[in-house]
């Protein structure tokens, strides 16, 4: 059970109700992860805007961003995000075994060379930021990533860490989704 009140759509008013309507139109439901932000209209809107930016990012595709979130969530034992993002990867056709092993072996992710390089750099940045070097950035640029893409990729990893911290702190339980390990 969550340590803070998860604001249900039926109880939402004002900006929270309006933001929930927007989310429901986009994904058909209000996930518990967003309900946890319902007590702060500003935080909720900021969270939805951030997620929306990456859902429609022109170069960082949905499998790449889900893989980033999955590895970050696994590193931080955020069950909510492991279940949510692992499920997205499985739905996208990834083998469950590959998904389960992704945190230990991200180089085996079934992504193209360009996306795989971004995934590996973002993981390096969130795990050991001091070890990211000019060679890493030059490699990404040589594959066609722009500085905006690189910044957005690393920012997505950092954003995921913050989201995991909040969900773990308040013990937000996953929605009724299957874990990729089952």
* pLDDT given at position 174: 81
Quick one: DSSP state of residue 173?
P
Average pLDDT over residues 28-57: 95
Give helix 113-127 / helix 147-169 axis angle, nearest 10°: 50
Residue 89 phi, psi (nearest 5)? -70, -40
**Single pTM value for the model:** 0.91
The pLDDT tens digits of the residues spanning 56-106 come to 999 999 999 999 999 999 999 999 999 999 999 999 999 999 999 999 999
For domain 62-169, the CATH architecture is: Up-down Bundle (1.20)
Average pLDDT over residues 142-168: 97
Q: Contact 59/149 with Cβ under 8 angstroms? A: yes
Residue ranges covered by each domain of the chain: 9-55, 62-169
pLDDT at 182: 42
How many angstroms separate the most distant Cα atoms in the chain?
51
Check pLDDT > 80 for residue 146: yes
| Residues contacting 154, CB < 8 A, separation 6+ | 121, 122, 125, 126
pLDDT at 136 over 80: yes
Assign 1 a pLDDT band (cuts: 50, 70, 90). Answer: confident
């Amino acid at each position: 059970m969550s340590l803070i009140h998860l604001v249900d759509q039926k109880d939402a008013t004002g900006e929270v109700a309006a933001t929930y309507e927007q989310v429901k139109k986009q994904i058909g439901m209000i996930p518990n992860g967003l309900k946890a932000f319902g007590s702060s209209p500003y935080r909720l809107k900021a969270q939805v805007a951030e997620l929306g930016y990456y859902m429609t990012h022109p170069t960082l595709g949905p499998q790449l961003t889900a893989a980033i979130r999955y590895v970050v969530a696994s590193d931080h034992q955020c069950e909510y995000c492991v279940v949510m993002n692992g499920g997205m990867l499985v739905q996208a056709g990834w083998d469950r075994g590959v998904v389960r092993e992704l945190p230990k072996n991200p180089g085996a992710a079934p992504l193209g060379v360009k996306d795989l390089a971004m995934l590996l750099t973002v993981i390096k940045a969130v795990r050991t930021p001091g070890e990211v070097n000019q060679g890493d950035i030059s490699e990404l640029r040589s594959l066609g990533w722009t500085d905006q893409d690189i910044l957005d990729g690393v920012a997505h990893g950092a954003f995921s860490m913050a989201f995991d911290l909040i969900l773990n702190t308040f013990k937000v339980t996953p929605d009724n989704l299957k874990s990729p390990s089952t």
